A and B are shown apart, each in its own frame.
Chain A
Amino acid sequence: MSSITGAGVSPGRVIGPVLQMPPAVPEPDAAVGLPAEASIEAETERLKTAAKAVQAGLKARAANASGDAAEVLKATALMAADPMLLKSAAKLLAAGRSTERAVWEAAEQVAAQLKALGGYMAERAADVLDVRARIVAELRGVPAPGIPDSDVPFILAADDLAPADTATLDPAKVIALVTAGGGPQSHTAILARALGLPAVVAAEGVTSIPSGTEVFVDGSAGLVVPEPGETERTAAAAYAARGALPAFDGTGTTADGRLVPLLSNVGDGEGALAAAAAGAEGVGLLRTEFCFLNRDEEPSFEEQSAAYKAVFDAFPGKKVVVRTLDAGADKPLPFLTDATEPNPALGVRGYRTDKAHPGVLQRQLEAIAAAAGQSEAEVWVMAPMISAASEAAHFAGLCEAAGLKTPGVMVEVPSAALTAGAILEAVDFASIGTNDLTQYTMAADRQLGPLAELTDPWQPAVLQLIKATVDGAAATHQPPKPVGVCGEAAADPALAVVLVGLGVNSLSMNARALSGVAALLKTVTLEQAKEAARLAVTADSAETAKAKVRANLPMLETLGL
């Protein structure tokens, strides 16, 4: 088998057996009934046997698990051969449904009942549907859906991973991720970086590698090599023997002492505590969607301010940058966004929803101000999806009215990068969201595998827009107003060096990435960072930009990054 090249999105070099993620179990056709020659008794018995087999499998897994996971698996095992479920399936079978269809519909009814009960029961509905898929897979004699179970650590190969798969991914078992689809900013890539797993995405052909085949994965080079040879074994052994990264000591700096605060992106109070424990110098991006998602109406003032305060309290005396509600596109909200837009990425999203639904943003700012007043954090506020200086000025006015002192904007739209000077006349800081800035600069949807090369934040055009933002800030004020980066780009140590070289003041990333970025930055002088930036900005592709910069930063190898 020849090696497969994709986009390396999370560093690391490992060797292990591949396990393929089985495809989801499709719904059995309702139009296909029980075959004329089949006996209802025999089929009912076959269903029971399949259910018992699924139950036994889940019980075995429960025995190997511990704590909450074991309890959930035990309960799920009981559901698999539940007498009520089997009885209603048997009734449907007797009424002429196919065996698979009968259990499918019976479980559907149970799940609907549990959903209607709400709360904890509604969450269990997903377990019933999981059990159903497993029984149908057993009846068909195909592998059970979901992340495969294995006694030994393995490399997971899939078409792409969905956010739901990530909940069941055990980082102690999965040692690397390789997907045929996805891009540098797809869910798989973000998950891999958050877990610190080597990953290669957009690697067409990885789904054809037979399960059990030994492969080598290089998450920096984007390489997947089936049946690895001596070179790969040496590389993997060297990576395994690397020294552990030193924990981040809480001060981001270059070798020659230029301070670059390293902040964390967080979504709630719990995440903020974890980020503080990892040494984060503050929060560079507080996503406030967590308060709003899965809601039919706006959360109350009290609920919002309590949630924000929980984050502020984790960082007394430190900076916390709150991003106001970023609804729309991949994060729709029934009371704010229009689901029928033909092109939601270019639609009424982020700050733009304020015009269509005035009041929600104002109330959010008031809740942030109230929480800030009761905490010791230094609270900054920024609006997402700002495209023009006039919008920035309007947002600054709203912040002032709410009593918030430091308004800023996200730079995600190329127009904002190009007019950063005028925007920074109106507000006090800018924070570059590289995920969306890449998507809008390259006109490429970040979830699409075939566009992986374009959705790479190493694209020189994206780097040039980051430079334009920094230059705009410098042309307007002395000293320049701060420009930070809070996208996934800041979590890539080599790219973080480039950003510092471009003149970015602070970097915000998932807490897991802090130690790697800090360790590399410490080995690089500001002059070397500027040289890295020059190499990247003048490269002719994302790939060459990355290769040139990496070749210039030998410490990446030593640190295993």
Chain B
Amino acid sequence: MPERIATVASRVGLHARPAAIFAEAAAEQPVEVTIGLEGTPADEALDASSILSLMGLGAEYGAKVVLRAEGEGADAALESLAQVLETDHDAE
């Protein structure tokens, strides 16, 4: 399964506004994307389009997370979502 590791760039972590932006972006992808903290088993990964899951993930600033997706367009989806994660949305 295609994977992509990304580092959370928002100072407040993956909460609040950054989490909302990321969940919305994940929902727009043609494939289902999951998210997990680096080092946790793939079957514990959470739905990336769920803001409630993201908030419970507890990914702070600088945390490494693994994005996974399968199917057509998976690589492009992972790449675009990784970019969302690696932008500091609070700095905008």
Question: For B49, what are the chain A residues with a Cβ–Cβ distance below 8 Å?
Answer: 83
Q: Are B23 and A78 interface neighbours, CB within 8 A?
A: yes
Interface residues of A (CB under 8 A from B): 71, 74-75, 78-79, 82-85, 87, 110, 113-114, 117, 120-121, 124, 128
A83 contact set on B, CB distance < 8 A? 47, 49-50
B42 at the interface (CB under 8 A from A): no
Closest to B50 in A: A84
- Using a CB-CB cutoff of 8 Å, which residues 55-84 of chain B contact chain A? 55-56, 58
Q: How far is the CA of A199 from the CA of B72 in the complex (A)?
A: 61
Considering the chains assembled together, what is the distance between the CA atoms of A83 and B53 in angstroms? 9
B46, B47, B52 pick with most chain A CB within 10 angstroms: B52
Q: Which residues of A have CB within 8 Å of B51?
A: 75, 78-79, 82
In the complex, the answer to whether B52 meets A85 with C-beta atoms within 8 Å is yes
Q: Are B56 and A78 in contact (CB under 8 A)?
A: no
B20 to A85, Cβ gap below 8 A? no
Q: Which B1-46 residues sit within 8 Å CB-CB of chain A?
A: 15-17, 19-20, 23-24, 46
Q: Which residues of chain B come closer than 8 Å to A84, judged between CB atoms? A: 46-47, 50, 52-53
The reply to whether B52 and A74 contact each other, CB–CB distance below 8 Å, is no
Q: In the complex, what residue of chain A is closest to B19 when comparing beta carbons?
A: A75
Residue in B closest to A128 when the chains form the complex, CB atoms = B52
The reply to whether B52 and A120 form a contact with Cβ atoms under 8 Å apart is no
B44 to chain A, nearest CB (A): 13
Q: A83-B49, A114-B55 are in contact. Are A78 and B24 (CB under 8 A)?
A: yes
**A170 and B81 alpha carbons, distance in the complex (Å):** 36
Chain A CB within 10 Å, residue with most, of B15, B19, B23, B51? B51
Q: How far is the CB of A389 from chain B (nearest CB, A)?
A: 54
Partner of B20, one of A75, A114, A117: A75
Bound-state Cα–Cα, A85 to B49, Å = 11
Partner of A82, one of B15, B16, B50, B58: B50
Q: How far is the CA of A82 from the CA of B51 in the complex (A)?
A: 7
Q: For A71, A78, A85, which residue has the most chain B Cβ atoms within 10 angstroms?
A: A78
In the docked arrangement, what's the CA distance between A128 and B16, Å?
13
| CB atoms of B16 and A114 under 8 A apart | no
Max chain B Cβ within 10 angstroms of own Cβ: one of A82, A113, A114, A120: A82
Closest partner residue, chain B, to A77 (CB atom): B20
On whether the beta carbons of B56 and A120 are closer than 8 Å, the reply is no
Q: Which residue of A lies closest to B53 (CB)?
A: A84
Q: Evaluate contact between B56 and A114: CB separation under 8 angstroms.
A: yes
Q: Shortest Cβ distance from B89 into chain A, in angstroms?
A: 11
Q: Do B55 and A124 touch across chains, with their CB atoms under 8 A apart?
A: yes
Known pairs A75-B17, A87-B47. 16 more at Cβ < 8 A?
A71-B20, A75-B19, A78-B20, A78-B24, A79-B51, A83-B47, A83-B50, A84-B50, A84-B52, A84-B53, A110-B52, A117-B56, A120-B16, A121-B15, A121-B55, A121-B56
Contact (Cβ within 8 A) B52 A79: yes
The answer to whether A71 touches B52 (Cβ under 8 A) is no
Least CB distance from A48 to B in Å reads 14
Cβ-closest chain B residue relative to A121: B55
Closest chain A residue, CB of each to CB of B13: A120
Q: Are B16 and A71 neighbours in the complex by a CB distance under 8 Å? A: yes
In the assembled complex, the Cα of A74 lies from the Cα of B20 at a distance in Å of: 8
When chains A and B are docked, how far (Å) is the Cα of A114 from the Cα of B50?
A: 14
User: Smallest distance from the beta carbon of A68 to chain B beta carbons, Å?
Assistant: 10
Give Cα A128–Cα B52 distance, bound, in whole angstroms.
9
- Residue contacts A-B, CB under 8 angstroms, 6 given: A82-B52, A82-B53, A84-B50, A84-B52, A85-B50, A87-B47
Q: Closest residue to A116 on the B side, CB-wise?
A: B56
Contact A113 B56 (CB under 8 A): yes
Tell me the smallest distance from the CB of A123 to a CB of chain B, in Å: 10
User: Roughly how many angstroms separate A79 CA and B53 CA in the complex, as a whole number?
Assistant: 10
Chain B's nearest CB lies how many Å from the CB of A115? 11
- Nearest 4 CB-CB pairings of A with B: A84-B50, A78-B51, A75-B20, A82-B52
Measured CA separation A369–B68 after assembly (Å): 59
Whole-angstrom distance between the Cβ of A222 and the nearest chain B Cβ: 44
In the bound complex, CA of A82 to CA of B50 (Å): 5
- With the chains together, A335 CA to B20 CA distance in Å? 39
Q: Which residues of B contact A110 (CB under 8 A)?
A: 52, 56
- Within the complex, what minimum Cβ distance (angstroms) separates B12 from chain A? 8
Tell me which residues across on chain B come within 8 A of A128, comparing CB atoms. Answer: 52
Residues in A with CB closer than 8 Å to B15 are 120-121
A441 and B58 alpha carbons, distance in the complex (Å): 53
Q: How far in angstroms is the closest Cβ of chain A from B25?
A: 11
How far, in Å, is B26 (CB) from chain A's closest CB?
Answer: 10
The docked-state distance in angstroms from the alpha carbon of A113 to that of B46 is 15
Q: A74–B51 Cα gap in the complex (Å)?
A: 11
Rounded to whole angstroms, the CA-CA distance of A71 and B19 in the bound complex is 11
Closest CB of chain B to A104's CB: distance in Å? 15
**For the complex, what is the distance from the CA of A358 to the CA of B56, rounded to whole Å?**
42
